Amino acid sequence: MLLFARHEAWVLRTRRKAPFFGPLFLGTFFPWMLIPAIPVGISMVFLMEKAFILAMIFGWVGRVGGIVVLVPWYFRRDCTDDDLRHGRAKRALKKERELSACLDRLQATDPREAVRELRVFPKRKRQDSGLRKQPLDGPAPPRPGVA
């Protein structure tokens, strides 16, 4: 995650310097998508030999899931690139602040805890419901407003 965030920050800085070459720099993200797909593709070939229908279902779910994840990611970068080409850097500056905060968090945390950055839906902290526990060694304190 740290290497990807560093690469994304490099691409953003480079696109700000040369906005007309932005699509070329955006293409440098291709290996980040291709390398994890190789083991999945190999396992799908072996699965197609044994259970063709199951492999087709997994393939369809994987493609739809990939589209759901990658399309918003790609178009956000593409819109940022378009804004830079037309002289508007507001979105790029906002993304640069987000990336620097993410890099600071990733560099400050233990690598084992950095995996928590990958969670799509982070766990919510439990909020105090306002109820107090009764002490175990004595009588309960009186409630306000009750005689």
pLDDT attached to residue 114: 57
Short-list 109, 93, 77, 97, CA closest to 1: 109
pLDDT attached to residue 47: 87
Q: Are 118 and 1 in contact (CB under 8 A)?
A: yes
Examine the pLDDT at 73 and tell me if it is beyond 60.
yes
Q: Are 99 and 8 in contact (CB under 8 A)?
A: yes
pLDDT attached to residue 20: 85
Take residue 36 and report the two structure tokens written for it: 């994890």
Provide mean pLDDT across the span 98-122: 70
Provide mean pLDDT across the span 63-83: 86
CA distance 112 to 1: 12
* Three-state SS at 38: helix
Short-list 24, 62, 30, CA closest to 44: 62
pLDDT attached to residue 122: 54
The answer to whether the predicted template modeling score (pTM) of the entire model surpasses 0.75 is no
Take residue 53 and report the two structure tokens written for it: 């229908």
Examine the pLDDT at 66 and tell me if it is beyond 70.
yes
Type and span of the H or E element at 62: helix 52-85
CA distance 82 to 91: 10
